Amino acid sequence: VESIDLRGRPTDAARLLAERTNAAFDLARGPLLRVSLLRTDEDEHLLCLVLHHIIADGWSLNLLRAELATRYAAHLEGRTVALPELLPYTAYARGEREFAEGGEGSDAEAALAHWRERLA
């Protein structure tokens, strides 16, 4: 995490956020994630989290945002938060395979029909 002190320089904060969010990613060399913490006042910070869509989808970003917000709120209140146990990728892959192999009348078949219609 890059920490940058911008107290008293609000235009620099806006410029820096624009630079960070508009900078291209090098897919061959990375990194595909940039995190900057901008201190704009004694008790005010901006977290700039920029990542390439190849490493996270909308669902993942919503989960990340919710977890960050939960942990930050807990930190402000002086308490800790237990996050749900992480699901191993192998369990996720197994669940996806079982979903896909559901057969005729399955949710997978309905999902496939939906996307065939939408993308036709």
Residues 20 and 48 both lie in one domain: yes
Residues 42 and 17 both lie in one domain: yes
Residues 43 and 12 both lie in one domain: yes
Question: Quick one: DSSP state of residue 27?
Answer: T
Question: pLDDT (tens digit, 0 to 9) for every residue of the chain, 120 residues total?
Answer: 999 999 988 889 999 999 999 999 999 999 999 999 999 999 999 999 999 999 999 989 999 999 999 999 999 999 999 878 888 999 989 988 888 887 666 788 888 888 899 998
Residues 74 and 104 both lie in one domain: no
pTM (global) more than 0.85: no
Q: If you write DSSP's letter for every residue of 28-97 in order, what string do you get?
A: TT---EEEEEEEEETTEEEEEEEE-TTT--HHHHHHHHHHHHHHHHHHHTT---PPPPPPPHHHHHHHHH
Residues 67 and 25 both lie in one domain: no
What range defines the domain where residue 107 resides? 89-119
**Distance between CA atoms of residues 2 and 10, nearest Å:** 18
The position carrying tokens 């930050």 is 72
Residues 31 and 73 both lie in one domain: no
Residues 93 and 107 both lie in one domain: yes
* Number of folded domains that form the chain: 3
